[in-house]
Amino acid sequence: MQTANATIPLPFFYIGRSLTRERIDTYQSQKLSLLSGAIGKPDTKSIWYSREHVEKLLAEIDYAGGDGVRLYFGTYESGHVFADQTCIVMNVTRELEVDDDIMHVDVVLEKEPDFADRSSVPREVITFPGGINSIFKRDFNYGSPCPPRCDPPPSELED
């Protein structure tokens, strides 16, 4: 996207279409089938998060005095609509200096001084995008996994 006065450079983390496709294809050909076989159904290929979800995560990083986010791979619990499928768990991190090293430690909300107050206030309830008449209370650890909620594969979107 261009502004009126200057072209905005690509982000430093941009890896390009070819390497992106290579990494996705390698994962899907080497690991996805193993994971799917282990749980007896198709495992997660991707997870979609709305812009609002990302904005709220950024706001939480700011609120917590954080410096970033750590993404963990996890598994949805038994009884969950996506039981046994891979999920992403997001944890806000804070910078911690130990000796001369900078570490990024997970912020544990239950250990924060305002946790009791914050947890007593009802969370926002919104309609989950892509789910017809389905309402979820979303936390920072919930996205829309594919499968079962899939957009067209990237290969169908290529020109």
- What is the per-residue pLDDT across 27-50, written as a single tens digit (0 to 9) for each? 999 999 999 999 999 999 999 888
Whether 106 is in a domain gets the answer yes
Whether 32 is in a domain gets the answer no
Could you give the C-alpha distances from 28 to 25, 33, 55, 119, in angstroms and in order?
5, 7, 29, 39
Whether 69 is in a domain gets the answer yes
Domain enclosing residue 132, as ranges: 44-152
Q: How confident is the model at residue 66 (pLDDT cuts 50, 70, 90)?
A: very high
> Which pLDDT does position 121 carry in this prediction?
94
> Which pLDDT does position 129 carry in this prediction?
52
Whether 55 is in a domain gets the answer yes
**Which residue did the predictor score with more confidence, 159 or 109?**
109
Number of folded domains in the chain? 1
The model's pLDDT over 134-151, given as tens digits with 9 standing for 90+, comes to 444 444 555 777 877 776
